[in-house]
């Protein structure tokens, strides 16, 4: 059967820049646009997507690996009708440090779940650990989330550099989060993009930005997706615009996706 | 397998000689009761009722059939079978271990090194290998005799056994060449271990009358001898294209450098890691400045 699932890795060099919120709200928008979406908490070992959703799943990815639990049994519906969530474990270093064989085993077991959805959003942990690098290099699309802070910019650049140098990955979409203005979005993206062009030899693509908005921390406190609670807020409008771009991207990639696996194995030399 | 009854000893001897010719015994004289084909080894068995080990030994000796293996199976506790198994165990041990020290031998060491290098390539692990040799062995052997050298080798082997970790491999690779395979050990780990090894060896000889500073007692009255060793070691991290021989060569070069430096020296080298270069992925100061200022 032809693949229709677009895998999207959402990542950052620095923690706390809004990856999980971005994954959750983009997923919600696309689900509302009649696309089944699965969110996978890939911050293995230190998961928190469930916390944002106010969920406490009994089973998680650890059970799929250790106890052969079918992935359908750990799938948690966020919204009925195709907005689902694959929870990871918290406080399990073994999951965080899993080797390539275990990752391959896990992903092969999860494949039927992926194939049932139009989008797979992988919420990766911050940093450059091997699990982050593997998931990022296997996904079809990579979104780097940065904020205007220099620390976020430097760590985001470091992540891009490691992925480019070690894994040969050179296509990245950038979302600038927590911006005060359009000018700040442009300045932040431009700085990162020019650094990549100058030192790494390739440029980045700006997907867009999300404005600083008090509605977002309020949504987090209430454990309800912003796009469900206040879709007309400034951040909500920005997130909607980002979702539309992703929707267009998937539509343009569909012919290519048909001949590819959901997750491309870069390490084995499979072409992108 | 065939069955027969021991009756005519000459007929049995003739049968075995004829069979020996047929299976090309001359082409594989060491195989004994085995036919060595292109792809394997085959043991041929014939049950002979009424024949004991003494009957066989006499017949084999008289008819030049000593290359055939006889195995009595009628006895209650199979004493010869037990002896055979013990001999096979001993032979298996000897094929992988040094007879004097009981350490692994060079073949076993190389096979293990290949396996560990495979693991490095598979998992991006760390591996170190150390080579060491007793300093000025010729001079010391000239003064105190070959028995003294053997004593030093055995003491070195015992000390290696004490200081190495359970999953390290210690081996004797030549007359005066010893090796250690140290999975997961980085250069500073290896240096620390080799220093413990030197101290342990010196202490052993000090206990038997030496001065304890690497000038251990010879055990020959009031004469003293320097018991120290030079060591060279190499480490690899992550994926490499080199094989065991390359790794061995690097450690040998390090040992040569250590010897040039003088008695008791330890020298380290590192096999380049092809999968990961910190310089390649590191964010340098000019990149940071550019990110901060755009200049």
Residues B126 and B64 in one domain: no
The CA distance from B247 to B64, in Å, is 49
Q: Which of A99, A154, A162 sits opposite B291 (nearest CB)?
A: A154
Asked if residue B67 and residue B122 are part of one domain, the reply reads no
**pLDDT range class, residue B216, cuts 50, 70, 90:** very low
On whether residue B197 sits in a domain, the answer given is yes
Percent of chain A with pLDDT over 70: 93
What range does the domain containing B266 cover? Answer: 106-277
Q: Are residues B201 and B75 in the same domain?
A: no
Model pLDDT, residue B226: 54
Looking at the fold, whether B250 and B131 belong to one and the same domain comes out as yes
Domain assignment of residue B294, yes or no:
no
Confidence of residue B6 (pLDDT cuts 50, 70, 90): low
Helices A150-167 & A182-195, crossing angle to 10 degrees? Answer: 40
% pLDDT > 90, chain B: 20
Closest residue on chain B to A164 (Cα): B281
Specify which of A159-163, A256-260, B38-42, B148-152 reaches the highest per-range mean pLDDT: A159-163
Same domain, B67 and B113: no
With CA atoms as reference, the chain A residue closest to B280 would be: A165
Tell me the average pLDDT of chain B.
77
Q: Which CATH number covers residue B273?
A: 3.30.70.270
Retrieve residue A13's tokens: 């060099």
Q: pLDDT-derived band of residue B56, with 50, 70 and 90 as boundaries?
A: confident
Residue linked to tokens 């003064």: B143
CA distance B155 to B144: 16
Q: State the average pLDDT for chain A.
A: 90
What is the separation of C-alpha B268 from the centre of its chain, rounded to a whole number of angstroms? 22
Residue B30: its pLDDT value, please? 45
pLDDT for residue A225 is more than 50:
yes
Name which of B205, B270, B208, B206 is nearest B234 in CA terms: B270
Strand partners, A134: none
Instruction: Say how far apart CA B18 and CA A167 lie, in whole Å.
Output: 67
**Pair (B264, B151) in one structural domain:** yes
Encode pLDDT of A151-194 as tens digits: 999 999 999 999 999 889 999 999 999 999 999 999 999 999 99
| Most confidently predicted of A131-140, A225-234, B1-10 | A225-234
Looking at the fold, whether B222 and B270 belong to one and the same domain comes out as: yes
- Closest CA in chain B for residue A157: B283
Residue B286 covered by a domain: no
Q: Is B118 on the interface with A (CB under 8 A)?
A: no
Residues of chain A contacting B, Cβ within 8 Å: 99, 150, 153-154, 157-158, 161-162, 165-166, 190-192, 194-195, 198-199
- Residue B200 inside a domain? The answer is yes
**Cα-atom radius of gyration of chain B, to the nearest Å?**
28
User: Which residues of B are less than 8 Å from A153 in CB distance?
Assistant: 291
Report yes or no on B293 lying in a domain.
Answer: no
Q: What is the rounded average pLDDT of the residues A31-57?
A: 86
User: Is any Cβ of chain A less than 8 angstroms from the Cβ of B285?
Assistant: no
B181 neighbors B189 (Cβ within 8 angstroms): no
Looking at the fold, whether B91 and B213 belong to one and the same domain comes out as no
DSSP string for A135-156 = HHHHSSEEEEEE-SSHHHHHHH
Same domain, B77 and B223: no
B284 lies in some domain: no
Buried b (16+ CB within 10 A) or exposed e, A185-224: beebbebbbebbeeebeeebebbbbbbbbebbeebbeeeb
Q: What is the pLDDT of residue A267?
A: 38
Which comes out higher in pLDDT, residue B163 or B230?
B163
Q: Is the model's pLDDT at A141 over the cut of 90?
A: yes
Q: Does B281 touch chain A (CB under 8 A)?
A: yes
Give the C-alpha distances (Å, rounded to integers) separating B209 from B159, B218, B220, B263: 17, 8, 9, 21
pLDDT at residue A80, as a whole number: 93
Are both B115 and B235 inside the same structural domain?
A: yes
Is the pLDDT at A210 greater than 80? The verdict is yes
Does residue B285 fall inside a structural domain? no
Please enumerate in sequence order all residues whose Cβ is within 8 A of that of B274, keeping only pairs 6 or more positions apart, or say none.
B238, B239, B240, B241
Closest CA to A192 of B286, B278, B280, B287: B287
Task: Please tell me the predicted confidence (pLDDT) of residue B38.
Answer: 56
Specify the range with the lowest mean pLDDT, choosing from A51-65, A104-118, B79-93, B193-207. B79-93
pLDDT tens, B34-43?
Answer: 444 456 777 7
- 3-state DSSP call for residue A82? coil
Which residues in chain A have Cβ-Cβ distances shorter than 8 Å to B280?
165-166
Query: Minimal Cα distance from B123: which residue of A?
Result: A99
Kindly tell me if the per-residue pLDDT of B290 is higher than 90: no
Q: CA–CA separation, B200 vs B35, rounded Å? A: 51
To test the contact with chain B by mutation, choose from A149, A162, A193 the residue with the greatest count of B C-beta atoms within 10 A, namely A162
Whether B246 is in a domain gets the answer yes
Is any Cβ of chain A less than 8 angstroms from the Cβ of B289? Answer: no
Q: Which two tokens stand for residue B24?
A: 């090309």
The last residue of one of the domains, among B96, B123, B157, is: B96
Domain count, chain B: 2
Question: Do both B33 and B80 map to the same domain?
Answer: yes
- pLDDT of A97 reads 64
Domains of chain A by range and CATH? 6-254 (3.40.50.300)
Residue A29 exposed, middle or buried by CB count within 10 Å (0-12, 13-18, 19+): buried
Pair type for strands A173-179 and A141-146: parallel
Q: Do B253 and B114 fall into the same domain?
A: yes
Reported confidence tier of residue A21, pLDDT bands at 50, 70, 90: very high
Measured CA to CA in angstroms, residue A180 lies from A149, A226, A234 at distances of 12, 18, 11
Q: What is the mean pLDDT of residues A104-120?
A: 91
- Report the alpha-carbon angle A124-A127-A133, nearest 5: 65
The C-alpha angle with vertex A187 and arms to A183 and A188, in degrees rounded to 5, equals 115
Pick the last residue of a domain from B96, B126, B151.
B96
**Beta strand segments in chain A, E:** 6-11, 37-42, 76-79, 83-86, 119-124, 141-146, 173-179, 205-211
Which of B96, B128, B146 corresponds to the end of one domain?
B96
The interface predicted TM-score of the complex, written ipTM, equals 0.78
């Amino acid at each position: 059967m032809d693949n229709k699932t677009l895998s999207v890795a959402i990542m950052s060099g620095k923690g706390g820049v809004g990856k999980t919120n971005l994954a959750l709200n983009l997923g919600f928008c696309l689900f509302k646009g009649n696309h089944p979406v699965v969110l996978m908490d890939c911050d293995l070992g230190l998961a928190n997507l469930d916390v944002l959703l106010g969920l406490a799943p009994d089973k998680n990815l650890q059970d799929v690996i250790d106890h052969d639990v079918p992935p359908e049994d750990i799938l948690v519906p966020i919204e009925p009708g195709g907005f689902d969530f694959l929870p990871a474990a918290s406080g399990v270093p073994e999951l965080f440090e899993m080797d390539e064989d275990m990752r391959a085993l896990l992903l092969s077991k999860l494949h039927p779940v992926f194939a049932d959805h139009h989008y797979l959003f992988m919420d990766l942990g911050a940093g450059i650990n091997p699990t982050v690098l593997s998931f990022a290099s296997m996904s079809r699309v990579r979104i780097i989330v940065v904020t205007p802070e220099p620390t976020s910019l430097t760590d985001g650049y470091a992540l891009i550099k490691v992925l480019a140098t070690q894994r040969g990955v050179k296509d990245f979409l950038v979302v600038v989060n927590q911006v005060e203005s359009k000018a700040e979005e442009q300045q932040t993206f431009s700085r990162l993009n020019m650094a990549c062009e100058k030192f790494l030899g390739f440029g980045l693509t700006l997907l867009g930005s999300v404005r600083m908005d008090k509605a977002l921390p309020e949504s987090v406190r209430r454990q309800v997706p912003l796009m469900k609670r206040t879709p007309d807020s400034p951040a909500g409008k920005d997130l909607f615009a980002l979702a539309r771009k992703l929707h267009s991207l998937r539509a343009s990639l569909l012919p290519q996706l048909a001949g590819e696996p959901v997750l491309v194995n870069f390490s084995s030399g499979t072409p992108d | 397998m065939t069955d027969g009854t021991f009756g005519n000893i000459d007929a049995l001897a003739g049968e075995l000689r004829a069979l020996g010719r047929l299976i090309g015994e001359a082409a594989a004289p060491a195989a004994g009761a085995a036919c060595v084909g292109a792809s394997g080894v085959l043991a041929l068995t014939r049950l002979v009722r009424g024949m004991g080990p003494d009957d066989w030994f006499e017949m084999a000796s008289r008819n030049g059939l000593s290359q055939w293996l006889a195995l009595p199976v009628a006895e209650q506790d199979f004493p010869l079978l037990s002896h055979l198994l013990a001999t096979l165990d001993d032979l298996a041990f000897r094929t992988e271990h040094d007879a004097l020290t009981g350490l692994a031998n060079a073949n076993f060491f190389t096979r293990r090194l290949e396996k560990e290098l495979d693991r490095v390539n598979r998992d991006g692990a760390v591996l170190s290998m150390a080579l060491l040799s007793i300093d000025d062995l010729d001079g010391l052997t000239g003064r105190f005799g070959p028995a003294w050298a053997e004593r030093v080798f055995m003491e070195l082997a015992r000390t290696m056994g004490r200081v190495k970790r359970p999953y390290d491999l210690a081996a004797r690779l030549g007359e005066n060449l010893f090796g250690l395979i140290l999975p997961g050990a980085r250069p500073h780990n290896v240096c620390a271990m080799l220093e413990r090894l030197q101290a342990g060896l010196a202490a052993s000889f000090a206990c038997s009358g030496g001065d304890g500073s690497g000038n251990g007692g010879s055990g020959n009255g009031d004469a003293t001898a320097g018991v120290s060793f030079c060591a060279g070691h190499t480490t690899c991290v992550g994926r490499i294209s080199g094989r065991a021989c390359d790794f061995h060569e690097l450690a040998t070069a390090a040992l040569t450098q250590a010897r040039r430096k003088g008695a008791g020296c330890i020298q380290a080298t590192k096999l380049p890691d092809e999968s990961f270069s910190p310089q390649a992925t590191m964010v340098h100061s000019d990149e940071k400045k550019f990110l901060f200022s755009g200049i």
